[in-house]
Structure 1
Amino acid sequence: MKGPLFYAKILLFGEYGIIKDSKGLAIPYNFFKGALKTSNNLSDTAKKSNENLLKYYTYLSDTDNSIVHFRLDELKRDVQNGMYFDSSIPQGYGVGSSGALVAAIYDKYADDKITVLENLTRDKLLKLKGIFGMMESFFHGKSSGLDPLNSYLSLPILINSKDNLEPTGIPSQKEGKGAVFLLDSEQIGETEPMVSLFMNKMKNEGFRKMINEDFAKYTDACIDDFLHGNAKSLFGNVKQLSKVVLANFKPMIPKAFHKLWQHGIDSNAYYLKLCGSGGGGYILGFTPDYAKAQEILKNYKLELVYRF
């Protein structure tokens, strides 16, 4: 038995800002994926996943089934028969490993599920996001539900605000020089402590002002440029966003990357930004010349996401 594939996600723009109701843009990333599988002979990794699924079954048994009803007996039976989540999505890397698992469980065990084939009204998207937020809270303490939503629908999603989401189209990739890429920090990042740190910073009036003004302004401009294919303007706005993040989110950027981050801004060869909550995992990069960026960053592992 092997279930359908669910892909990783990349929040191109909007990390932290979406917690405070500003814009975001998330895209599926099919380089990494996961599926539910069953085996009588589990490897150590599969066994660990199977044990976690049993804990997850217990968590779902205690949730409010007026929002969503799961066939829990079937889930329990499948877990006891050796079901696990077979995934290439790295955990703690900001690309939605728990989101893909949540999407897979909803797809297989939810009754009256909302599907990608129907007319996805705003109400249906918000309902799905709410269900997924509740389901993913098991992993992060608190979840927006956006990662599983992206993985489940496998569509780019534009977040206008907490209560206003829409599937969106992104310009098709070109064989240009420019690129979006992932840079591997080779450190695991944990979402919960980073989000707590952000919430504490939000108590500071100056930090709140920076989020509401500079951070939101450049994030919104980047999203607009990206969706409309304005590459030249996009790089200008990403550079400004990269500066704002380096100045105000230092604890979320692994120390070893502070200089590299600044070098990108100074040289205009690439611009870095957080991918997810930071603290490790992947760092997102934008460059007008991918070959040049690869040369400068040759000591690091890069993954190509999108070409301009």
Structure 2
Amino acid sequence: MKGPLFYSKILLFGEYGIIKDSKGLAIPYNFYNGALKIEENPSDSARKSNGHLLKFAKYLKDLMEARPELVTFEIDQMLIDIEVGMYFDSSIPQGYGVGSSGALVAALYDKYAVNKITILENLTLDKLLQLKEIFGAMESFFHGKSSGLDPLNSYLSLPILINSKDNIEPAGIPSQAEKGTGAVFLLDSGMVGETAPMVHIFMENMKQDGFRSMLKNQFVKHTDACVEDFLNGDVKSLFGNVKQLSKVVLNNFKPMIPAQFHKLWKQGIESNDYYLKLCGSGGGGYMLGFTEDLEKAQKALKGYQLEVVYTF
């Protein structure tokens, strides 16, 4: 048995802000993917994944019993498949902000949900919000609290524009420039980040008036402008807003940026060779970089692993 592939995702804009109703833009990233599998001779990592799946299945059984109106699963079949060794075969790095748990949630919903909403339907706002709520409840197993956006992106395999908490839609993004010199890239911090502690720090900060005010008047403002610029293909304005966003994050989200990258982050802003921002909740994993000149950025970041995800 081998199930369909589900891809990783990149939240280009909106991390933390979408908790407070900023705009957001998530795109599928096909470089990494995962699928449910059963094999005759499972590896150690397959056996480990199988053990995690059993815990997750028990959580889903409880969820279904607590909220049958939200979602029901063919839970007996799921448990039989896990019993015979089903696991999630995934190349998506965990703790890197690219949606490893989201792809797993999408795969299990796709295979076992009863009366599932399919990607072939006319996806009205109601259906999208229903999927987002189901996925949020499922993915909470991993993070304590989830918006449901990562699994939604993985499940639909489409760019998703978040206008606000209750207003999301599939988005058309400008096609990539074949020979563009500008790029969005992933920068590997070389360490795993954990979502729950980072979200906890953010929620504690939200209790302060000054932080809330900064979030609304600077962070959300620049995030919204970046989303608009990106969708409209206004590259010049986009880089101005990404630079401002990068500054705001460096000044106000320091715990989410691994300490050894503070200097590199600042260098990008001062030299204009590249601008860095968080990819997901931060604390490790990937950071997102934006540059108008990829060669310049590669020279400035010599010794670091860059993965290009989009070209201008």
Under a length normalisation based on structure 2, what TM-score does the superposition of the two structures give?
A: 0.98
Matched, 1:293 2:297: yes
CA distance in 2, matches of 1:60, 1:277: 24
CA distance in 2, matches of 1:191, 1:207: 20
SS in 2 for 1:155: coil
Letter in 2 for 1:165: I
Matched, 1:128 2:134: no
In the other structure, the counterpart of 2:16 is 16
SS in 2 for 1:300: coil
CA distance in 2, matches of 1:65, 1:73: 15
In the other structure, the counterpart of 1:270 is 274
Residue 132 (structure 1) shift: 0.1
SS in 2 for 1:19: helix
Residue 15 (structure 1) shift: 0.4
SS in 1 for 2:184: strand
* Residue in structure 1 matching 2:85, options 59, 82, 87: 82
CA distance in 2, matches of 1:208, 1:138: 28
In the other structure, the counterpart of 1:232 is 236
CA distance in 1, matches of 2:119, 2:239: 33
CA distance in 2, matches of 1:115, 1:286: 34
Matched, 1:29 2:33: no
Q: Deviations over 1:175-202 (max 9, x none)?
A: 2100000000001000000000000000
In the other structure, the counterpart of 1:152 is 155
Unpaired stretches in structure 2, ≥5 consecutive residues = none
Return structure 1 stretches of 4+ with deviation > 4 angstroms.
none
Letter in 1 for 2:29: Y
Contact 1:60 1:135 in 2 (8 A): yes
SS in 1 for 2:213: helix
* Residue in structure 2 matching 1:306, options 287, 290, 310: 310
Letter in 2 for 1:150: N
Matched, 1:5 2:5: yes
Letter in 2 for 1:241: L
* Residue in structure 1 matching 2:117, options 92, 108, 114: 114
Unpaired stretches in structure 1, ≥5 consecutive residues = none
Q: Judge which range, 3-12 or 58-67, deviates more.
A: 58-67
Contact 1:104 1:152 in 2 (8 A): yes
SS in 2 for 1:62: helix
CA distance in 1, matches of 2:68, 2:286: 35
CA distance in 2, matches of 1:276, 1:146: 11
Q: Deviations over 1:182-225 (max 9, x none)?
A: 00000100000000000000011000000011001100110000
Q: Judge which range, 293-302 or 121-130, deviates more.
A: 293-302
In the other structure, the counterpart of 1:169 is 172
Contact 1:89 1:97 in 2 (8 A): yes
In the other structure, the counterpart of 2:38 is 38
SS in 2 for 1:159: strand
CA distance in 2, matches of 1:87, 1:300: 24
CA distance in 1, matches of 2:174, 2:135: 28
Letter in 2 for 1:280: G
Contact 1:129 1:144 in 2 (8 A): yes
* Residue in structure 2 matching 1:192, options 187, 196, 213: 196
In the other structure, the counterpart of 2:73 is 70
SS in 2 for 1:283: strand
Q: Deviations over 1:127-160 (max 9, x none)?
A: 0000000000111111100000000000000111
Letter in 2 for 1:147: D
Letter in 1 for 2:163: N
Sequence identity of aligned pairs in percent?
A: 73
CA distance in 1, matches of 2:217, 2:300: 32
SS in 1 for 2:78: helix
CA distance in 2, matches of 1:40, 1:49: 15
CA distance in 2, matches of 1:220, 1:20: 12
Contact 1:40 1:81 in 2 (8 A): no
CA distance in 2, matches of 1:75, 1:302: 38
Residue 65 (structure 1) shift: 2.2
Under a length normalisation based on structure 1, what TM-score does the superposition of the two structures give?
A: 0.99
Letter in 2 for 1:38: I
Letter in 2 for 1:167: P
CA distance in 2, matches of 1:292, 1:47: 44
